[in-house]
Amino acid sequence: MMRLREMNLADIDAVMRIEQHVHAHPWTRGNFTDALKSDSVCRVYEAEGTMLGYVILMPAVDEAQLLNISIAAAHQRKGLGRKLMGEIMEIARGMNMRRILLEVRPSNVAALGLYRDAGFSQIGLRRGYYPADNEREDAIVMECVL
Ligand SMILES: CC(C)(COP(=O)(O)OP(=O)(O)OC[C@H]1O[C@@H](n2cnc3c(N)ncnc32)[C@H](O)[C@@H]1OP(=O)(O)O)[C@@H](O)C(=O)NCCC(=O)NCCS
């Protein structure tokens, strides 16, 4: 039985294990503790006590920024990212958000695929937004109207 619950400080070790494994440019522990202290919606997705993934959504007035959505490597490509996205969209709707915005690296094929699948479309491009190995990488800006 899968369930979504509030993330708390005790989850950070498990979150960081996934984060460092699945991201080329992972968040730091501090990024997660800051998110927990903020108004962001921080949820973990788990089944029988095993963390499958997590999501961080930052609401601002009537639109929300999707800051992080991750599924543990061993559980990827089984539809869990799609389910988690569906759950966070429901939460955003319940908070009367009009749309969800996000930024994504053009090289992140899996995330781009998930976002398009979930109904996001590109509305902009920020040049050289992300640090990358040698130079900088653009950010594709996407939105999904709820
Ligand atoms: C992006 C991510 C959350 C997707 O989670 P997932 O559980 O593997 O995705 P799903 O199985 O639900 O896939 C849903 C759809 O997304 C697309 N997709 C997912 N992974 C993909 C991949 N590797 N390549 C291309 N498309 C992909 C497909 O359209 C897929 O539908 P399909 O399997 O029917 O073809 C996961 O790959 C991940 O955690 N990546 C590392 C963290 C990250 O980059 N997060 C986003 C930025 S914060």
Asked whether 114 lines ligand 1 (CB < 6 A), one says: yes
How does the average pLDDT of the chain come out, rounded? 96
CA-based max dimension of the chain: 43
Asked whether 47 lines ligand 1 (CB < 6 A), one says: no
CA of 104 to the centre of ligand 1 (A): 13
Q: Which atom of ligand 1 is nearest to the CA of 72?
A: 39
Using CA atoms, how far apart are residues 108 and 100, in angstroms rounded to an integer?
19
Tens digits of residue pLDDT in 83-136: 999 999 999 999 999 999 999 999 999 999 999 999 999 999 999 998 887 789
Tens digits of residue pLDDT in 24-77: 999 999 999 999 999 999 999 999 989 999 999 999 999 999 999 999 999 999
Using CA atoms, how far apart are residues 138 and 122, in angstroms rounded to an integer?
13
Those residues whose C-beta lies under 8 Å from the C-beta of residue 18, and which sit 6 or more positions away, are 51, 53, 54, 70, 72, 73
CB 109 within 8 A of CB 98: no
Taken in order of first residue, the domains within the chain and their CATH numbers are 2-145 (3.40.630.30)
Asked whether 69 lines ligand 1 (CB < 6 A), one says: yes
CB 53 within 8 A of CB 81: yes
**Taken in order 59, 85, 11, 1, is the CA torsion positive or negative?**
positive
The model carries a pTM of: 0.97
Indicate which residue's Cα is closest to atom 41 of ligand 1: 22
CA of 130 to the centre of ligand 1 (A): 20
CA of 108 to the centre of ligand 1 (A): 9
